[in-house]
């Protein structure tokens, strides 16, 4: 295919790329995209003709940038959006589907294989999936892409990597280096960014052109060279590059010429670094994805590189574009491009220090997970969630490192168990199940770590609706904990067994086990989010058995503890129970306020179970208030979310009553046709849009809506209840929830 031999039609800034919305997750461009006009046009045409296009080329040639730019320009073609899947930090093929699920913005709590989740979500959707950096997972990625394309006929895939996927129907698009004039423009723009006022003149144009030619128009090489203009002139850069070409290009006769050029450009930057900068560069290669300064200071410091000097050395690497700075929700972060990281990893291997650095990396993230678990029960809960999400690639690498050595497998078990708050509280049940199953395959003599992984596995399985998997893990945990006298493991195993009884409608046993667990927690002096959830689950069991007053009192106590400690996640479930009590007392307006707060919290933490429970009850509140049409929409929206949680309402007769009552009221008001139309409308809303609509819903603000009811409210069992005298006490609730 012919490539552009001319610059862009004008040098004005590019039109803005459509912003990231619920329909896409493409990153914002931090500097101007230069050239590649013909390549972008080619990719647009090829994606019209083929469902799989793979951009291939040497590292640093601009595959990712070009693919993302093309996808952004084509976004309007795809009514279900454009999604970018970045795989460079994913090393375990078993996590490939999870990475795609994350990119699609899905949260799946079920025990279904993630492949099933993907296939069900993509079927019937018109979407462009951009897959980047798959080389190290090429076989698994090819198999997954093939399955997705077969099942989802409107799906298109734009892949970017150093080799094709080699699938039937794939169109391979080799991305050549930049044409001369585009390369010159890129070099000049990046040079001006590091040396304000720089421009191409008659004096430096010749040397700049020669520099671009020597670097074969490879964008990464050009950007590294431009970074040197902080200290050197264009002529000096060219002269030094000449030296490095002679020094470094003869390393491998079998390597591709352009690959040699890229390695030369990176190697030249490496040679120009001070010794301590080279050392830090090599050590930074142990990180996956982003990292922060504190982690660098701990992991990478040594007598040769004291911790107090790390910031200055890192600043030097930033100045040379070896390390990139990124501002995120959790503060300033840093990262290296994959090609640059790989180069550093080779140098680290040459020093023989890789194993030591990987263990230090593992130890740091073990400590981070431990502190995050403690901070989860505090006002910093939201920060903990964001931090754990941002560090997930490094946490994965830490578990992988521990599993590589049989004597250290207990550390992987400890880490997988300690991250329960990430798996359960932040909507990552499916990935948590993957790791917990994986780490428990290893037999270890460190019983506390194994026990923790077992009860967390049981907890995850309960929430996924996998009763068999849950009882197996919890029985083993309790049996072994009884044998060894591990009181904490006993308490957690009893608690989660009670939780299993709760969702399988055995309320008598649930109440018995949860009371037992809470007594054990008191004896241990244990107070955390798990203990609060045991109280909330006990309130549900008590309420389901008919004593709504006691249920409300328990949750009011939990609410006070949460407000005192700054806990938000467990609070969302307590608010759900309190809202139900308010609804049964004939106070739907109070129930709405509680439910909207519950829903907002659950959605913030990506907790689909808490979110969908609140939304279903909010639908009933809306119906009781007289807005049957909106209630039908909210029910439809909740029904779309449930498959990602598990069996709707766990198959429970108790949990299903609000839905049944809402449907009865709405059908009675609307008739079957209008009710079903509203449900279909709600089912078209993605979770973000559904939550936004539910939180904004104020029936009294909309014309044509009936006045709110103040009298007796229909209970889920079909009877009516009189309002209670005390809205906070829960008195006057139904005989059965």
- DSSP secondary structure string, 699-714? GGGSTTPPPPP-S-EE
Tokens of 733: 């609730």
Closest CA to 173 of 16, 72, 41: 41
Q: Are 374 and 565 contacting, i.e. CB atoms less than 8 angstroms apart? A: no
The pair of structure tokens assigned to 623 is 């119906």
> Do residues 156 and 185 touch, judged by C-beta distance below 8 A?
no
Q: Look up residue 79 and give its DSSP letter.
A: T
- Set out the domains of the chain in order of their start, with CATH numbers: 37-174 (3.40.50.300), 180-271 (no CATH), 273-352 (1.10.10.10), 575-737 (no CATH)
> Of 430, 370, 363, which is closest to residue 398 (Cα–Cα)?
363
Instruction: Find where tokens 């049981």 sit.
Output: 458
pLDDT at 724: 35
> Mean pLDDT across the chain, nearest whole number?
84
| Tens-place pLDDT, residues 243-260 | 555 544 444 444 455 556
Per-residue pLDDT band at 284 (split at 50, 70, 90): very high
Q: Is the dihedral of CA 12, 13, 17, 19 positive or negative?
A: negative
Average pLDDT over residues 710-721: 39
The pair of structure tokens assigned to 457 is 């596995």
Burial class (CB in 10 A: 0-12, 13-18, 19+), 46: buried
DSSP string for 304-319: TB-HHHHHHHHHHHHH
Question: Cβ of 26: how many Cβ atoms within 10 Å?
Answer: 21
> CA-to-CA distance for 219 and 225, rounded, in angstroms?
10
The whole-number average pLDDT for the span 111-126 is: 86
β-strands 155-161, 127-132: how paired? parallel
What average pLDDT does the segment 655-679 reach?
Answer: 90
The whole-number pLDDT of residue 227 equals: 81
| Cβ atoms 215, 265 nearer than 8 A | yes
Condensed to tens digits (0 to 9), the pLDDT of residues 438-479 reads 999 988 888 999 999 999 999 999 988 889 999 999 999 999
pLDDT tens track for 174-224 = 888 888 888 888 888 888 888 888 888 888 888 888 888 877 788 888 888
Report residue 189 as tokens. 């723009």
Q: At what angle do helices 548-565 and 529-544 cross, to 10 degrees?
A: 160
Distance CA 218, CA 234 (A): 17
What is the model's pTM?
Answer: 0.77
High-pLDDT (> 70) share of the chain, %: 87
CA 358 – CA 61 distance, rounded (Å) = 30
Average pLDDT over residues 572-586: 91
> Closest by alpha carbon to 737, among 565, 578, 606?
578
Give tens-digit pLDDT for 75-91: 888 988 899 999 988 88
pLDDT of 638 strictly over 60? yes
pLDDT of 730 reads 34
């Amino acid at each position: 295919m012919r490539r552009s031999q001319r610059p862009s039609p004008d040098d004005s800034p590019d039109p803005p790329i459509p912003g990231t919305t619920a329909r896409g997750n493409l990153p914002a461009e931090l500097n101007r995209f230069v050239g590649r006009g013909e390549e972008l046009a080619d990719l647009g045409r090829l994606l019209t003709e083929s469902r799989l296009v793979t951009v291939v080329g040497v590292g640093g040639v601009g595959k990712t940038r070009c693919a993302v730019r093309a996808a952004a320009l084509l976004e309007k073609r795809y009514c279900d959006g454009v999604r970018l899947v970045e795989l460079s930090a994913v090393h375990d093929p078993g996590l490939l589907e999870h990475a795609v699920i994350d990119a699609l913005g899905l949260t799946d709590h079920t025990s279904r294989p993630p492949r099933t989740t993907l296939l069900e979500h993509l079927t019937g959707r018109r979407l462009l999936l951009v897959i980047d950096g798959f080389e190290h997972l090429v076989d698994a990625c090819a198999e997954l892409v093939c399955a997705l394309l077969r099942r989802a006929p409107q799906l298109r895939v734009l892949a970017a990597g150093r080799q094709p996927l080699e699938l039937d129907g794939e169109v391979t698009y080799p991305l050549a280096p930049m044409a001369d004039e585009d390369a010159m423009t890129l070099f000049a723009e990046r040079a001006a960014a590091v040396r304000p006022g720089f421009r191409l003149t008659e004096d430096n144009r010749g040397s700049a052109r020669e520099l671009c030619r020597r670097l074969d128009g490879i964008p990464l090489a050009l950007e590294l060279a431009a970074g040197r203009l902080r200290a050197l002139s264009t002529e000096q850069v060219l002269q030094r590059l000449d030296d490095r070409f002679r020094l470094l290009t003869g390393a491998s006769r079998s390597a591709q010429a352009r690959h040699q050029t890229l390695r030369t450009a990176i190697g030249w930057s490496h040679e120009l670094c001070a010794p301590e900068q080279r050392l830090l560069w090599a050590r930074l290669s142990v990180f996956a994805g982003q990292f922060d300064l504190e982690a660098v200071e701990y992991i990478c410091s040594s007598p040769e590189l004291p911790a107090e000097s790390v910031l200055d050395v890192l600043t030097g690497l930033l100045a040379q574009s070896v390390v990139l700075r990124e501002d995120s929700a959790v503060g300033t972060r840093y990262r290296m491009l994959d090609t640059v990281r790989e180069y550093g990893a080779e140098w680290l291997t040459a020093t023989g220090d890789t194993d030591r650095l990987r263990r230090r990396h593992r130890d740091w993230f073990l400590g981070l997970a431990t502190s995050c678990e403690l901070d989860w029960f505090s006002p910093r809960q939201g920060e903990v969630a964001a931090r754990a999400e941002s560090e997930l690639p490094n946490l994965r690498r830490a578990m992988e490192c521990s599993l590589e050595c049989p004597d250290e497998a207990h550390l992987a078990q400890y880490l997988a168990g300690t991250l329960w708050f990430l798996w359960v509280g932040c909507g990552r049940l499916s990935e948590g199940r993957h790791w917990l199953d994986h780490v428990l395959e290893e037999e270890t003599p460190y019983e506390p770590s194994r026990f923790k992984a077992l009860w967390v596995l049981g907890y995850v399985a309960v929430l996924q609706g996998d009763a068999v998997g849950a009882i197996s893990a919890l029985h083993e945990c309790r049996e072994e904990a009884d044998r060894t006298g591990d009181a904490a493991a006993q308490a957690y195993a009893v608690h989660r067994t009670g939780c299993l009884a709760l969702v399988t409608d055995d309320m008598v046993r649930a109440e018995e086990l949860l009371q037992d667990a809470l007594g054990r927690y008191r004896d241990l002096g244990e107070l955390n989010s798990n203990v609060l959830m045991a109280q909330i689950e006990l309130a549900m069991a008590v309420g389901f058995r008919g004593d709504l007053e006691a249920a409300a009192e328990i949750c009011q106590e939990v609410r006070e503890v949460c407000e005192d400690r700054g806990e938000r996640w467990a609070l969302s479930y307590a608010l759900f129970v309190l809202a139900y009590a308010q609804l049964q007392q004939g106070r739907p307006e109070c129930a709405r306020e509680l439910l909207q707060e519950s829903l907002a919290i659950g959605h913030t933490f990506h907790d689909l179970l808490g979110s969908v429970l609140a939304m279903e009850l909010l639908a009933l509140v809306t119906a009781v208030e007289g807005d049957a049409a909106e209630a039908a929409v909210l029910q439809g929206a909740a029904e779309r979310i449930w498959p990602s949680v598990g069996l709707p309402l766990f198959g429970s007769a108790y949990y299903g009553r609000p839905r049944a009552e809402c449907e009865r009221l709405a059908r009675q008001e609307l008739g079957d046709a209008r009710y079903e139309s509203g449900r279909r409308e709600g089912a078209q809303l993605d979770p973000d849009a559904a939550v936004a609509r539910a939180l904004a819903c104020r029936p009294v603000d909309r014309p044509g809506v009936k006045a709110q009811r103040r009298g007796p409210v229909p209970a889920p069992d079909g009877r009516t209840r009189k309002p209670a005298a005390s809205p906070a006490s829960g008195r006057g609730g139904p005989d059965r929830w």
